[in-house]
Structure 1
Amino acid sequence: MEIKILCTKLIKPFLPTPHHLQRYKFSFCDQISEKEHVSMVFFFHNYNNFDMDERLEQSLSKILTHVYPAAGRYDDKDEYCSILCLDQGVSYTKAKTNDTLDNFLNKARNDFGHAALFSPHVNKNIDETNFMVSPIVTIQVTKFECGGLAISISISHPAMDGFSVFQFTSEWAKVCRIGTPIDKINFFRFNMGDIFPTRDITGLFKSTPIPVIQQDIVVKRIVIREAVMSRLRKKMH
């Protein structure tokens, strides 16, 4: 399977971030989080949405108007304890592969490592030397030969935790699917820095050697059938 990169660009918020919101202060939890990217990839069959490329980009731009820190950059003058929200944009890559989605899924059932092939290619250039100056969010949309899509999202962990990433992704999908007006997008509050402000952590954590434990890693796949999901939805309603 070959993946060909078509283009990479920056997607910026649909509306400029107001001046009073152009600095997002971290919380203490953000301050001590791991400096790494958290990635996930979603696969979609071809639903004959010929304008999907445009819809994905436009809906992402709308979401970024609300989640403005995602389009910013860490502030090196504040010891990386805040984000400058100057609408620098998220990295957005378009790619294609010569494989079909069904064929890929058959391979992935035996080796989950295949999914990593669809991670944003720009992440390969991000390491500890440039992590804090790289885009906070990187996205790659790869189109299969059959028309299916692989959408990979990678978010810098100090800026968003796992729950925030899922909520960001869910709301992006909702706006893309039903075209939520930009003034109705409101699902995040950016006040954790006021509740749990950053602090001087010098000497707070004592460095202790971590023993290396050699053990096997077990990977399991959980499959939830559509019929089960339908029954669950009926019970919830």
Structure 2
Amino acid sequence: MAIQATMFEHGGLALAVQIVHTSCDGFSGCAITDEWAKVSRMEKGNVRNLQFRSDLGQVFPPRDNIFEMIKKGRPRGYEMKIATRIFMFDEIAISKLKENVNKFMSYSSRVEVVTALIWRSLMRVVRLRQGHNRPSMLQFAINLRGRGSPKVVGMQNI
């Protein structure tokens, strides 16, 4: 588990948490983070009632260990190519997409259906170009300011 805390000059705090599946399953990672937040707010936590499993990495092994590939680094002479694109989706198109997806699933958010559409398209391009899938990773940066309960406070108030 890796945690990075960034404190901003004029107040505010950003936390990044990275959990490797082999050491911690998603539920346990969220439970630890939730309890940590409660303790940080001086609330009484519920740590005693949590039931952690340490063997979920063996129960649900990863297909490709992408973190090991990242650690090894790129081969000598490899030149990274980065492309940035902006995709604009109007509200009607997203609503139709969401409606179609929700026929087969109980509920999917707008973010989930648009992300799934983009990811599926990118993976198809990879398969067409290379003839097979390759290990890939998708990351999101999310601004949680103003979404928490209670609201996230600046470091000067702590």
TM-score (norm 1): 0.24
Task: Name the structure where helix makes up a greater proportion of residues.
Answer: 2
Task: Name the structure where strand makes up a greater proportion of residues.
Answer: 1
Report which structure shows greater RCO (CA 8 Å, sep ≥6): 1
